[in-house]
Structure formats: structure tokens, C-alpha cells
Structure 1
């Protein structure tokens, strides 16, 4: 079983990414397919089965890992809810895929998959304790403690974007108000500025004062949110992923300054704030890492 290949899948609202991997993380073949619309569980399953057959034509993979946009149950069998995917409530996706493919399958939150990937092969590979914050459509997170993914007692830990930043702020889908997600997500940036993050990055690069000021404010808000997380978890590194991480250089110094102001040196000794390294492939790489854990257990 040493050279067992696995399949890693990242199910998103617009695209599904799959890869067939060797145990060391080498991707042998990958594929991106459109997420069916409407993306009901049954429709997604049909697309997954077809895509798995394409990415593994000779049926060499022995296990499957899937990242979905929302919490999975503690056992990694059930997609409890999937943000942006209609009708995803307690979907037994692992059972379904196992029945169709005959391969052991495990499911996890997509941000947790990205965190596993960054800690395995990416920006977090030199650290045993880190957090990943994914700044995208929403704000997700993952916690790695002592080299292991921390998911809490029911599997839903690490929702780092849902901490409260402003108790009277805008309402969040989670039921919280003024969560970090309401200030740091792509949706929040669009609402606040009417522009896309990369547009604001291009303007800042060209020296536009409004854009530069926006990123300073953005970094400050991010730093305030991170201060709470750092006090609780004292990570060695904070890895910033998701689409907005492409603008990292425009907000990182403001975020660091805020953290230095708010967090006692004892809680942030040697702390590094780093951009994620694996980009869009992080979800499927982390899902493959999860699948590899099944190979050892079976």
C-alpha cells in the first residue's frame, strides 16, 4: 500500500477540482469541471462520478478525499451543510461515493483541507502550530495544533471568519453580527467599495491614495480579528489564503502593526504572517492528504 494513489476533490459553488495524487503529494493528473446548476447533492454526485472516472481512467486510486464548502460531521462521512450549494443538509456523501466507486471516502470542510495542504506542502510546512485564514467569497479558517488538524468535539471547529469583530455590525449568515467575514470577505469589499479586490490592488500598485487607504483599513480590521485568534491559539504562523491573499502585500503591514499593538509579546513571540503558497489547488491537495490517512487505516 506504500505507493497507493488517492483522489482529492474540492467541491466549490462554481467549479469542482479533482486530482489523482501520489502519497508524497505529487499530482499525476488533474481536472476542473463546472459545478452543475442548480448544484443539488444528486446533481453534484453524478458529475463527481464522471469526473473521478476521467481523472483515474485505470482505476488506480485506492481512496477518495472531498472538501466541501461547509462543516462535515466528526466522522468525515456527512456534509452537514454546504454554503452556496442548495439542498445540502446532512448529505451522506461519503456513503454515496463509496457505493458508486468501491473506494473508502472521507469528507472535510474545504478550509480545513486547504489548511492541511498548506501545513503539509505549503507556507506552513515548517511549523507545528498554525492557523490558515481563507479570505474569499466568505472567510474560512483551519487550525493546525501539534501538526494535526483541530476540528473540535463535533467536527465544526475552526470557523475563524465567524468571530465577532463588531457586536453591532451587519448581520452574518451564521446568525452572528459584525463577524470578521462581514469586513474581510470579497463580498464585504464589493459592498464597501463597489470594486473587486484585484482592481483595488491594481489601483494601490499605481499609487492611488483611496485604494492605499482602503488596504490600510482592511489590514487594520484583519489585525483586530487575528488578535483574538492569536490570544487563544498562539500559533507560530498565520497563513493567509483565498482570493484576497493575492493582495497580501498591500494589507500585511497594517495587520502586523495592529497585532503588535493589541497582542502581548508573550502571545506572539516569533509569530509569522505569511501568504499561502498552494493557491487554488490547496483544497484538492488537502483532500488528498485526508484520503491518504484512510489508506493507512484500511
Structure 2
């Protein structure tokens, strides 16, 4: 794999109409850490930005007028989407680190599925927040029924690979495709629906990752710019939540503390929580 085939997750900022955004804040550590550069074996975050890949560069476009808003527990009705997810180009699915929207909305995503506690489901029901779950087969297959409880609230299971190999992005295409496709098939069998969105372990990806995701039937790679961990919010850009932010959280023992911290941050920012899948129309 050549260096030109590798893309760090910070470089995704230029892919979906975010070229005017400045890079700042702290590097985010989620799902075993997020290296910011695109060199195999590197671990030091890079502040550089590369030129956007011409196969994926796009600007925000208005969503189809036929797409209707859906009800939300955080308000009388969900905001009308003002962004349309672009299709894959030359086999490469688009990448989002946040959604370029003018609507006062934020998106909560929850990863992995290692810790399974009834209190987590109760906490989510208490706040009434819609979420998008990026789950890993090897961590959830011992108790898929637990996640059906979250699914029953209208939330969807998305793809976070089979084994959560954070070095997957630098491995051959066949390996990456298998990690993604086997999880696709498992989710279809266990939850009755194949995922439409993919989050690479650790947030890193390459062109091979984007191609493998597309061939497995996924519509986009989803990364993040805000993280809640240990009961604290962390931001890669700025010091508070912004419209369109995709927030990363995990199924961990501190789930309730993390959810409370997110709740407070979204109140301070004056944003409503919407389900990412619904806003993107996937």
C-alpha cells in the first residue's frame, strides 16, 4: 500500500464540505486511541492537512424535499435535514467527522459493546436521546439480546468490524473487507437489518478501507470531533458542542456519567439530539 492510499482521520475534515474549519484542541482518544497522521505504525498526532481527495470532495447540498422530519424525544419534531450524503465515487465511500448543517442539532454515537449494564439502557431512556450504535461482533455476540433493548427504542446497529483491530486500516484489502462484511452479515442475522454506516476501529482508515466499506454495502465512514469519556467532554475543535457535531461515547462502566456530561454540554450549546442515521437518510 502506497502512502498516497493512506488517509488519516483528521484529513477527513476536508472531505465533506469542511475545508474552512480550523484544526485545534486536543487529539481524541477513542476506541484505543486515534493516531492523527497517516503513516503506518505512527502514533504521534499530526496537525497537517492534506489536499482533499478529488474523488470525495463535495460541498453541502440540500436534502431532497421528499425527506420528512421524524419525531424526537428532545423536541416536538426533528429538524429538517439540510445535508445530503453524497454517493461513493470511484468505489470510495464518503467520510464524515461531523455533519455540515445549519440546524441546531448534535448526534450521539456509542461504540463497541464491551460493557453491558441494565443501568445504561435505563439512563438512555431517562434522557430520551436517540443514538447510533457502532458495535463490534466479538464483543456483542455473547449477548445480542442486550442491544435489542436499545434497538427497540428505534436505534440502529451500525458496523464497527468483527474484532476491533485498530491496525486494520493498514492491512490488505481482503482482510479489511472480511472484517467489515462478516459484521454486516452478523448484524443482518442477529438484528434483522444490515448496517449502512461504518466506523473504523480507532477512527483510522485508508482508501482500501473506504473501498471495502463500499463493497460491503455501506454508505459512509463516520468518525467524530467530540468525545465523552470518564464523565468529561473532550473537543478536537473548539471548546463546546457545535451544530452537526458527531459525539463518540462507549458502552463502559461510566456510561451514566458520560451521558450526564453529554446532556449538560448539549444544554449549554442549545442543541437538540437527532439520530444520525435518520438525518443522513440511511
- TM-score range with shorter-chain normalisation? under 0.3
User: Which structure has the larger Rg?
Assistant: 1
Normalised to the residue count of structure 2, the TM-score between the two structures is 0.27
- Would you tell me which structure has more strand in proportion to its own residues? 1
TM-score (norm 1): 0.26
Higher relative contact order (CA 8 A, sep 6+): 2
